[in-house]
Amino acid sequence: MQADAGDTTGFATRPTGRSEAGGCDLCGAGRGRVVAEASPLNARIVECAGCGLLYASPRMSDAEMDAFYEQGFAIDPGSRLRAGAGLPNQRKVDKEKRQSTDWALAVIDRHVDVRGKRVLGLRCRTGGISEALAARGATVHCIEPFEANASYARQVRGLSHVHVLPFSQLHAFGETAPGPFDVVDVLAQHVLAHVASPSRLLSEIHAALVPGGLLFLDEKDVLHPALHKTPSIFESGTAHQYHLTERTTAGYLRAAGFEILRCEIDPHRMSDFRHIVSVARKPERASEAREPPMSGLPEMTETVPSSLTATAALDCRPALNQKPSATPRPWFGPSGAR
């Protein structure tokens, strides 16, 4: 399928395959290949030659990121463009509960009893998960980038420890919500794709957890589109500085020093893409050796369905609109544990 030269919503974003110098946030490799040019629907995307991380190049500066979420982001009902100076639409809040809160609580309850625990809700949205955990007996601190969401958490849900931090500064959560924490919950919305450095954020989360503490993380897998409707898997918004996969999510967790208990596509969580659910533990002893981030993981070619590679997806609209017939075999955790 071909596109006119001026068609910025179609295949004018066809990958060039040329190499590019740069710095990978995950493995530090200095070279990659361009897999998608910039368009109104995506940043220019590079695939790292070392680990396969897919990332925007160039990435937004902190100032650019702050301006974007303040002036140009309207996906979240709590964003300034959607909510203004008020609260998020109640119908959207109810949808948030159906889509993420109930699912997230089931994931957390399988691994920990939060009674008496200190919990950090990172990117808590309107605080649905945090409210439920507080009702179970946890002391909960919340971090949220959008003021309208934070106001809803305070005014409607009655949560008292709610702090606003922009995406560019999420790694600095410890300045307003100091640890240690027994649990860090990042299940309300996928976060790593939106921050300046997932590596830095995960390192700060690791440092804030008590030994044996748990991280719960949700992320979209760009190589498993479900209801995605554009020709390119990367055309999901210029907000995405990173496009994660099971493999690179697991690599990030290992690089930060976590022991991975679960990192797999969850059959109960789906939006435009299938979602990766991760449960990771901070080792009990600081002396426990860290594994190399990508050691023991499948080769990159094994992470991509045979009919849908990062490059081929740009030329295969039918494949993008098909739901996977089966959940991929997980790399970590029991496949039958849901």
Angle at 64 between CA 60 and CA 68, to 5 degrees: 105
Per-residue confidence (pLDDT) for residue 19, from 0 to 100: 55
Per-residue confidence (pLDDT) for residue 76, from 0 to 100: 84
For the chain, percent of residues with pLDDT exceeding 90: 59
Per-domain residue ranges for the chain? 11-320
Mean pLDDT of 117-123: 98
Please determine, for residue 194, whether its predicted confidence score (pLDDT) is greater than 90: yes
Where do we find the tokens 């009702």? Answer: 135
In 3D space, the residue among 287, 100, 126 whose CA is nearest the CA of residue 189 turns out to be: 100
Per-residue confidence (pLDDT) for residue 227, from 0 to 100: 83
Measured distance CA(6)–CA(261) in Å, rounded: 47
In 3D space, the residue among 21, 156, 170 whose CA is nearest the CA of residue 90 turns out to be: 156
Give the tens place of pLDDT for each residue, 123-162. Answer: 999 999 999 999 999 999 999 999 999 999 999 999 999 9
Query: With contact defined as beta carbons under 8 Å apart, do 39 and 8 qualify?
Result: yes
Angle at 57 between CA 55 and CA 63, to 5 degrees: 100
In the numeric block, which tokens belong to residue 165?
Answer: 């931090």
Higher pLDDT, 229 or 253: 253
Top CATH class, 11-320: alpha beta
Query: With contact defined as beta carbons under 8 Å apart, do 220 and 244 qualify?
Result: yes
Q: Which residues lie below 8 Å from residue 334, measured CB to CB, with a gap of 6+?
A: none
In the numeric block, which tokens belong to residue 273?
Answer: 């893409």
Please determine, for residue 7, whether its predicted confidence score (pLDDT) is greater than 90: no
Per-residue confidence (pLDDT) for residue 318, from 0 to 100: 33
In 3D space, the residue among 235, 117, 87, 128 whose CA is nearest the CA of residue 182 turns out to be: 117
Quote the pTM value.
Answer: 0.83
